Amino acid sequence: MPDLSIPQFDPNSAGNPNNNIFGLIFTEEEARLVIIPVPWEVTVSCNAGTARAADQIFRASLHVDVVDRETDEAWKQGLFMRQPDKKILMKSDYLRKEAELYIDYISRGDDVADNQFMSKTLKEVNEGSNYLNNWIYEQSIALMNKGKLVALLGGDHSITLGNLKAAAEKHGELGVLQIDAHCDLRQAYMGFVYSHASIMYNALKEIPELKTLVQVGVRDYSPAEWEEVQSHASRVVTYLDKEIRHRQYEGQTWKEIAEEIVSKLPQKVYISFDIDGLDPKLCPSTGTPVPGGFETEQLFYLFSKIIQSGRNIIGFDLNEVGTGESSWDANVGARILFKLCNLLIANNTPAS
């Protein structure tokens, strides 16, 4: 199996942009885990830029030291990231401009039904988002059928659905651990059926194998979303950021809370990591930043508790990484990506 003994890789040299993610030299065929970048941000409702996050994260990854003792350097089994698909990016750019015109129109209180052009725009955006979901599903399931582990790198949070459908088809009953400042349980937000703000609503609706959705760090949600949480009480568990903090203020440890969160998850776990679940100082350019949130180490600790519990992490996506003037967001995103990749591989290494 490929490892550090490969002579072309020198962890002490400057990262070579001609190599792959983290400066590694694995091919897709050699890699245990394949990362699919998804350059998509059509329905973002605040700050744009995440469609181009994968390129910035790639550059930042060349400065990440490939050390992860917790997983016994699982990356040595092979990581590979594909090139962002230019056709998907072009489609995103075109539909994003259309969506911006539509959002501006409805923000004035005008009725879409009265405007033929806007009705056509809404239809095109929804069709484009459905196309993306199918594209991601097809890419993901093809890799899974080859025995690969699959991760997604966004792009906005709407990217999750296709990969999650593939994971459910491959693994059967599963749970989702959603790290997020938002519930993402809005129904057809602003008329966009597959909005980034509707991803978990759609997942619950379209994936019967999704047994439990555990949301952690939520601190911004609508009344309708909270009604969705309550109406799915047997299937959705939401840990509000405020409640977590209050429990800690009153003496509970993060260890106790983390173990409780893990106890709500089924055996197979998919992690959907919206970077705005972090403290905004770590992701200032994300699309919809909200005060509060986690430090990275708190979440890495939570993920390690999943593995220690005997549960199985089967896949993940990392999304909503912003592309601001500095490289800070990408730097944080690259380090989260490296940790998640190592955890996923380590948790799925065949017994020798």
The per-residue pLDDT for 6 is 53
Looking at the DSSP assignment, which residues form a beta bridge with residue 179?
Answer: 216, 273
Rounded to 10°, the helix 160-171/116-145 angle is 40
- pLDDT at residue 46, rounded to an integer: 81
Cα 68 to chain centroid distance, Å, stands at: 21
Average pLDDT per run of 10 along the chain, which is 352 residues long?
54 74 96 98 89 97 94 95 98 95 88 89 96 98 98 97 98 98 95 96 98 98 96 95 98 98 98 98 95 98 98 98 92 98 93 54
> What type of residue sits at position 127?
E
pLDDT at 42: 96
Residue 189 has a CB neighbour count (10 Å cut-off) of 20
Residues with Cβ within 8 Å of residue 324, at least 6 apart in sequence = 49, 284, 285
Nearest to 159 by CA among 317, 329, 293: 317
- Residue the block writes with tokens 């999750």: 160
**CB-based burial of residue 26 (10 Å sphere; 0-12 exposed, 13-18 middle, 19+ buried)?**
buried
CA dist 262 → 22, 265, 281, 303 (Å)? 30, 5, 26, 9
Q: Which two tokens stand for residue 78?
A: 């092979």
> How far is 286 from 278, CA to CA, in rounded Å?
10
The structure tokens listed for 87 are 């056709």
Q: What is the pLDDT of residue 2?
A: 46
Sign of CA dihedral 283, 40, 162, 87: negative
Domains of the chain: 21-346 (3.40.800.10)
> What is the rounded end-to-end Cα distance, in angstroms, of the chain?
12
Residue 14 has a pLDDT of: 57
pLDDT for res 13: 66
Handedness of CA 269, 270, 274, 280 (dihedral sign): positive
Query: Which residue spans within 117-209 are E strands per DSSP?
Result: 149-154, 174-179
